[in-house]
Amino acid sequence: MKAMYGLFFVVVACVTAASARAEDIVLVSSLIPYENADTASEDVRKECNWNTTMPGYLARKSKGLVQVAEQSIDAVTGKKLMIVATSVYTTGGGRFSGPKWLTLEGKLTEEGKLLGTFQARRRTSSGSMRACGTLDSLSEDLAGDILRWLKTPSLNANLGDTRY
C-alpha cells in the first residue's frame, strides 16, 4: 500500500510540475526584425540569417522554457518575448576592420501586462572573416544573456556589453 501511495504521489507531482511549467513557457517570434532599414546594411539584411537562428538558440538553451511561436507573435496571448534589432554594425575586412556589434531591445509581456524590458548588446573587436559568422556568434552570446534575464526579468535591464 505504501508503494502504491508513493507511486501516486510521484505521478501527481510530475503532472503538477508539468502543468505549472506549461504556464511559464515564453514564446518568441521565429524572426527578430530590424527596427528600420538603417539598422543594418542591405548586405547584412539579405545575406545573414542570425535573426532567424537566434530564436532557435533561445529555445534550445532554455531547456523548454522558451519556444518559437508557430504563428505571428502579435497573435499570442500568453507570455511572449518581443525582440527587435536596433543596431547591427559589421564592416568588411574581418578581424582587421575593428569592432562589430549587435544591439537588441526586448519586451516581455503576459496577457498585455508588461513584465520586463531590456537592452542587450554584444560586441567584438575581432571576429570571423565573414560578417554573418560574427553576427551568429554575437547572437548566440546574447541568447545566453537574455535567458539569464528571463529567470528574474526587470524593467530597463542592461544585458551583455551595454556599457557604451
Using the predicted structure, report yes or no on whether residue 30 has a pLDDT greater than 90.
Answer: yes
Residue 17 is predicted with a pLDDT of 38
36 CB neighbour count, 10 Å cutoff: 10
Q: CATH fold of 26-160, please?
A: Rossmann fold (3.40.50)
Residue 70 is predicted with a pLDDT of 83
- Of 47-56, 92-101, 129-138, 154-163, give the lowest mean pLDDT range: 92-101
Mean pLDDT of 102-126: 91
137 CB neighbour count, 10 Å cutoff: 17
For the chain, the structural domain boundaries read 26-160
**Averaged pLDDT of the chain:** 82
User: 76-100: per-residue pLDDT in tens?
Assistant: 888 999 999 999 988 765 555 667 8
CA distances from 75 to 17, 24, 59, 137, 150 (A): 27, 18, 19, 30, 21
Residue 54, classed as helix, strand or coil, is helix
